[in-house]
Amino acid sequence: MPELKALLLDVDGTLADTERNGHRVAFNAAFNDAGLDWEWSEALYGKLLTVTGGKERIRFYLDQFNPGFKRPLEFDAFIANLHRAKTDHYIALTSSGAIPLRPGVRRLLEESTADGLRLAIATTTTFDNVTALLESTLGEGAVSRFEVIAAGDVVDAKKPAPDIYIWAMARLGLDADSCLAIEDSKNGLHSAHAAGIRSVLVTVNGYTEHEDFSGAGLVVSHLGDTDDPSRIIQGSMPQASWVNMEVLCALHDRCTNLLAV
């Protein structure tokens, strides 16, 4: 039976609820700075989340929701500048401590490190955004708790493509059956599966709770804690009220013993 050696963690929606009050707010601030009258409401943003990556999301918005916008000649540079401004706003927001970790995240990171698991990040957002979130929530130097940070444009194709997970596993020097991924979205689940990772835990959030998580080993409301138990949405975790190391190991054993996902 393959041994569980590493946790690969998504960031947005998984470590913290960054989308609604983080990324969305930062996009709107950047649009405002640029003199654009675009306003991404919470509801519209839910639709835009079908596409991962901020630059890709702006293009998707224009294609699907604002086709009348007259695109500047240097369109790629226009998108890149908007996105850079958005990143600055996002970093300012997270660095101010406005976005906490989701329940159980700090605890599970500590338990898994104590048990000798290796930690890596596999995210669509930028390295700078990850750093700002980790340092504002876990303290200075928190990035060094993760052996690999696979982020943003280091790969061409973003989730649901497998590239970011493949990149992370190559840097760790591990095969897919030694890894367990924690995700919050269908795009993330598909990305991990497509990279060959068979054990995937999903912690849903307000934007993703109605997505189809067929094939996920376990789907819960959140990782949970002593005073804040996880609600099970799909699968089971016998004798546990929150996700702990026993739950992760049992999930990994179960998933890697299946012949196919």
Q: Is 159 in the site for ligand XBP (CB under 6 A)?
A: yes
**Residue 178-217 contact track with ligand XBP, rule CB under 6 A, x = bound:** -------x-xx-----------------------------
Q: Work out the burial of residue 259: count CB atoms within 10 Å of its CB; fewer than 13 is exposed, 13-18 middle, 19 or more buried.
A: exposed
Among left, alpha and beta (phi > 0; psi -120 to 50; other), residue 236 is beta
- In angstroms, the CA 58 to CA 79 distance is 7
Strands (E), the chain: 6-9, 118-123, 148-151, 179-183, 199-203, 218-220, 232-234
Contact window for ligand XBP (CB under 6 A) among 61-69, 70-78, 118-126, 210-218? 118-126
The Cα 188–Cα 212 span in angstroms is: 12
Site string for ligand XBP, 16-35 (x = CB under 6 A): ---x---x------------
Taking the complex as a whole, how short is the minimal distance between the CB of residue 184 and Mg ion, in angstroms? 4
Shortest Å distance, C-beta 35 to Mg ion = 31
- Minimum Å gap between C-beta 192 and Mg ion is 11
Question: With contact defined as beta carbons under 8 Å apart, do 103 and 224 qualify?
Answer: yes
Q: Would you give the DSSP letter of residue 225?
A: B
- Shortest Å distance, C-beta 123 to Mg ion: 7
Nearer to ligand XBP (CB atom), residue 22 or residue 250: 22
Q: Which of residues 149-208 bind Mg ion (CB under 5 A)?
A: 184-185, 188
The secondary structure of residue 174, as a DSSP letter, is -
Nearest CB to ligand XBP, comparing residues 150 and 237: 150
Binding ligand XBP by CB under 6 A: which of 4, 28, 53, 201?
53
Q: How far is the CB of 241 from ligand XBP (least distance, A)?
A: 26
Catalytic residue numbers?
Answer: 10, 12
Residue closer to ligand XBP, measured from CB, 94 or 185:
185
Q: What's the number of CA atoms in the CB half-sphere (13 Å) around residue 220?
A: 28
| Count of C-beta atoms within a 10 Å radius of residue 106 | 16
Residue 123 binding: pick among ligand XBP, Mg ion, none (C-beta 5-8 Å cut-off by kind): ligand XBP
- Amino acid making up residue 209: E
The CA distance from 25 to 172, in Å, is 34
Rounded Cα–Cα distance for residues 261 and 256 (Å): 9
| CB-based closest residue to Mg ion | 13
52 binds, among ligand XBP, Mg ion, none (CB under 5 to 8 A by kind): ligand XBP
CB nearer to ligand XBP: give 54 or 104: 54
d(CA 79, CA 31) in angstroms, rounded, equals 11
Interface residues with ligand XBP (CB under 6 A) are: 10-13, 19, 23, 52-54, 57, 123-126, 129, 159, 185, 187-188
Interface residues with Mg ion (CB under 5 A) are: 10, 12-13, 184-185, 188
